[in-house]
Structure 1
Amino acid sequence: MNYLVIALQLIVGISILNVWLVQNKKPTQWRGGDAKTIQEEFKVYGLPAWSCYVVGFLKVVLAIGLITAIWVPMLLGPSALGLAILLSGSVLMHIKINDPIKKSFPALLFLLLCAYLIYHSYGF
Structure 2
Amino acid sequence: MSYIIIALKLIVAISLLNVWLIQKDKPTKWRGGNAQNIKEEFKVYGLPVWLCYLVGTLKVAGAIGLIVSIWVFSLERPSALILAALLTGSILMHFKIQDPLYKSFPAFLFLLMCLAVAFSGFIVL
Q: TM-score range by the shorter chain?
A: over 0.9
Question: Quick one: which amino acid aligns to residue 64 of structure 1?
Answer: I
Aligned position for 2:65 = 65
1:74 shift after superposition: 0.8
Alignment of 1:29-40 (within 5 A): 29-40=29-40
Quick one: distance in 2 between partners of 1:113 and 1:21? 21
1:100 shift after superposition: 0.2
Alignment: residue pair count = 123
Aligned position for 1:101 = 101
Aligned alpha-carbon RMSD (Å): 0.9
Any gaps of 5 or more consecutive residues in structure 1?
none
Aligned: 1:22 with 2:19 = no
1:118 shift after superposition: 1.1
TM-score relative to the length of structure 2: 0.96
**What percentage of aligned pairs have identical amino acids?**
63
Quick one: distance in 2 between partners of 1:57 and 1:118? 20
1:83 shift after superposition: 0.1
Question: Quick one: which amino acid aligns to residue 120 of structure 2?
Answer: H
Deviations 1:84-110 (A, max 9, x none): 000000000000000000000000000
1:53 shift after superposition: 0.2
Quick one: distance in 2 between partners of 1:53 and 1:109? 23
Alignment of 1:2-17 (within 5 A): 2-17=2-17
Deviations 1:22-77 (A, max 9, x none): 00000000000000000000000000110000000000000000010001011000
Aligned: 1:110 with 2:99 = no
Aligned position for 1:47 = 47
Question: Quick one: which amino acid aligns to residue 77 of structure 1?
Answer: R
SS at match of 1:120: coil
Aligned position for 2:87 = 87
1:119 shift after superposition: 1.1
Quick one: distance in 1 between partners of 2:3 and 2:118? 16
TM-score relative to the length of structure 1: 0.97
